[in-house]
Structure 1
């Protein structure tokens, strides 16, 4: 998962590929899902939701709450700079 001044970009691939490129101003939310085992082992799934598009899920993310908090802070900072 990469964040730039313009967009959020994420890719996952093993056999199949999922990718997301969404302008920062169209990201409406970032959600975390974790099972009990995921909470113990500190991994989970991140879902990036867009205003006009369905969310895209990225699984097996280490420290997903930390990533979500970093993304939310970054997106808030970018929105503040735009105003």
Structure 2
């Protein structure tokens, strides 16, 4: 049971949950390329350093994949990110000021981006590497009215 499910109120149901896109692993893939080149060229130092970076980026990707949650319920938006330090947002629809989406060129091509939820009083939380962020935002905006 995740954060969202464990924090539902009585009578509250999840309408949609954002998924984290596989693009969270792009940095690991990019770092793996010079490691492979180092192995081919028998450059042990290059391949060792790059392979270490690849492992670190891979672990980071898995942590983001497993610890970020964002959901729309019939009453509010609930989100959580982080493993050791945690950032949460639980905003009732009447307290939501805006929901915005930011996408790079690669994000538009691969259909991932960052969703920023802003509440009244300056509350703002961003969620990176969200798959189909525009569809998620539209679903939230439909619910907000």
TM-score bin, normalised by smaller chain: 0.7 to 0.9
Which SS does the other structure have where 2:142 is aligned?
Answer: helix
Matched residue pairs, number? 76
8 A Cα contact 2:74 2:143, kept in partner = no
Query: Which structure 1 residue ranges, 5 or more long, are not aligned?
Result: 77-83
- Which aligned pairs between 1:28-67 and structure 2 lie closer than 5 A? 28-67=97-136
> Distance in 2 between the 1:41 and 1:9 partners?
25
> Distance in 1 between the 2:75 and 2:122 partners?
17
The structure richer in helix per residue is 2
The structure richer in strand per residue is 1
Which SS does the other structure have where 1:39 is aligned?
Answer: helix
Partner of 1:81: none
Partner of 1:74: 143
8 A Cα contact 1:29 1:49, kept in partner = yes
Shift of 1:14: 4.5
Deviates more, 1:7-16 or 1:58-67: 7-16
RMSD, aligned α-carbons:
1.4
Query: Which structure 2 residue ranges, 5 or more long, are not aligned?
Result: 1-69
Partner of 2:82: 13
Which SS does the other structure have where 1:38 is aligned?
Answer: helix
